[in-house]
């Protein structure tokens, strides 16, 4: 692997690592956020997104704090809760609290206003906020949630968001399939990335290896080409895997 460029090739696959310590950082006191792609005041023309994946923010929110009511339009947004809980309210009349292991999803479509808060007054909460581009704009907004148990993602890729809602996943307007998995050292996951697609791995916790590319907490991995992906050597690893439109 070329350490300087973080790029390696293997057969018909090409991997580009996005190191955690090279992400954009924001610190508002109550919110600490790491940006895999350009977002807010962080701008890097080399990291504007990957395919139709345009935002991955790793957010840590103080107790009792959060994001007041604000608008979104024509974005597919989900929050993957890694610790604590996330309270959501929106202009569609939805209200929910999603705890660790849960995912909330919002299709902003023609326009929606929502707020997100940490309902605990004392404990921090951590979540990954992810935005995808929809295939069709200005549709009717929608909201959904799903709870993933530890068994759902133990040593396997659990589909939780997809274009067709298959296998009990939530339905998105983006051309994407999004999976979660946890791995310990003895576990191996294989997945075929078909021609004409892109892949992205985001390491939420721990360490893992993808086709012999070693990844740490916060690292991302862009995957181009086609072939079999091998996830192994997990050390308390939790990952998201995106199968994306080209």
Domains in the chain: boundaries? 7-244
Q: What is the pLDDT of residue 158?
A: 98
Quick one: which H or E segment has residue 69? strand 66-72
Confidence (pTM): 0.95
Q: Which superfamily, per CATH, for 7-244?
A: Jelly Rolls (2.60.120.10)
| Residue ranges in the chain whose pLDDT is less than 70 | 1-5
Could you list the beta-strand ranges (E) of 141-226: 142-147, 158-162, 170-171, 176-183, 189-193, 198-210, 213-215, 220-225
| Count of CB atoms situated within 10 Å of the CB of 28 | 10
Mean of the per-residue pLDDT values of the chain: 95
Contact 44, 36 (CB under 8 A): no
């Amino acid at each position: 692997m070329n350490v300087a460029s973080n790029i390696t090739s293997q057969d018909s696959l090409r991997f580009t690592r996005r190191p955690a310590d090279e992400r954009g950082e924001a610190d508002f006191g109550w919110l600490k956020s790491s940006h895999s792609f350009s977002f807010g005041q962080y701008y890097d023309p080399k990291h504007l997104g990957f395919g139709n994946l345009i935002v991955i923010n790793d957010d840590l929110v103080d107790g009792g704090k959060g994001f007041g009511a604000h608008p979104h339009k024509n974005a597919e947004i989900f929050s993957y809760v890694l610790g604590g809980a996330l309270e959501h309210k929106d202009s569609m009349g939805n209200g929910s609290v999603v705890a660790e292991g849960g995912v909330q999803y919002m299709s902003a479509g023609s326009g929606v206003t929502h707020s997100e808060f940490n309902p605990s007054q004392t404990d921090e909460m951590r979540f990954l906020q992810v935005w995808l581009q929809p295939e069709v704009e200005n549709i009717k907004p929608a909201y959904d949630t799903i709870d993933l148990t530890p068994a759902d993602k133990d040593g396997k890729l659990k589909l939780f968001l997809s274009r067709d809602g298959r296998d009990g996943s939530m339905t998105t307007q983006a051309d994407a399939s999004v999976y979660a998995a946890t791995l310990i050292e003895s576990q191996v996951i294989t997945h075929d990335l078909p021609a004409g697609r892109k892949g992205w791995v985001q390491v939420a916790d721990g360490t893992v290896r993808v086709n012999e590319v070693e990844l740490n907490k916060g690292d991302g991995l862009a995957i181009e080409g086609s072939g079999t992906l091998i996830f192994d050597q997990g050390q308390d690893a939790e990952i998201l895997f995106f199968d994306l439109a080209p």
